[in-house]
Amino acid sequence: MDILMGILKAAGMVGAVGIFVGVFLGVAAIWFKIKVDEKEEAVLALLPGNNCGGCGYPGCSGLAAAIAKGEAPVNQCPVGGQPVADKIAKVMGVEAEAGEKMVAFVKCQGDCEKAGQDYDYYGIEDCRMLSFVPNGGPKSCNSGCLGFGSCVKECPFDAIHVVNGVAVVDKDACKACGKCVAVCPKNLIELIPYSAPVTVACSSKDKGPVTMKACSVGCIGCGICVKNCGSDAISVTDFHAAIDYSKCVGCEACMEKCPKKAIVAH
* pTM of the shown model: 0.78
Q: Is residue 109 part of a domain?
A: yes
3-state secondary structure string across the chain? CHHHHHHHHHHHHHHHHHHHHHHHHHHHHHHCCCCCCHHHHHHHHHCCCCCCCCCCCCHHHHHHHHHHCCCCCCCCCCCCHHHHHHHHHHHHCCCCCCCCCEEEEECCCCCCCCECECCCCCCCCCHHHHHHCHHHCCECCCCCCCCCCHHHHHCCCCCEEEECCEEEECCCCCCCCCHHHHHCCCCCEEEEECCCCEEECCCCCCCHHHHHHHECCCCCCCCHHHHHCCCCCEEEECCEEEECCCCCCCCCHHHHHCCCCCEEEC
In sign, the C-alpha dihedral spanning 54, 60, 65, 69 is positive
- Ramachandran assignment for 134, one of left (phi > 0), alpha (psi -120 to 50 degrees), beta (any other): beta
Residue 67: what pLDDT?
Answer: 92
Q: Is residue 7 part of a domain?
A: no
- The answer, yes or no, to whether residue 215 has pLDDT greater than 60, is yes
Residue 133 confidence class, pLDDT cut points 50, 70, 90: confident
Could you give the angle at the alpha carbon of 234 between the alpha carbons of 201 and 176, nearest 5°?
A: 50
- The answer, yes or no, to whether residue 121 has pLDDT greater than 80, is yes
pLDDT in tens, 244-256: 999 999 999 999 9
Kindly state whether residues 71 and 110 are assigned to the same domain.
no
Mean pLDDT of the chain: 89
Q: Is residue 3 part of a domain?
A: no
Q: Is residue 139 part of a domain?
A: yes
12/247 Cα distance (integer angstroms):
83
Q: Is residue 5 part of a domain?
A: no
Kindly state whether residues 131 and 181 are assigned to the same domain.
yes
* CA neighbours closer than 13 Å in the CB half-sphere of residue 35: 2
Residue 102: what pLDDT?
Answer: 92
Instruction: Give the count of domains, the chain.
Output: 3
Contact at 8 Å (CB) between 156 and 176?
A: no
Kindly state whether residues 86 and 113 are assigned to the same domain.
no
Amino acid found at 222: C
Q: Is residue 16 part of a domain?
A: no
Q: Is residue 25 part of a domain?
A: no
Containing domain of residue 137, as a range?
100-195
In sign, the C-alpha dihedral spanning 65, 67, 70, 76 is positive
Residue 56: what pLDDT?
Answer: 83
- The answer, yes or no, to whether residue 36 has pLDDT greater than 80, is no
**Greatest C-alpha distance within the chain:** 110
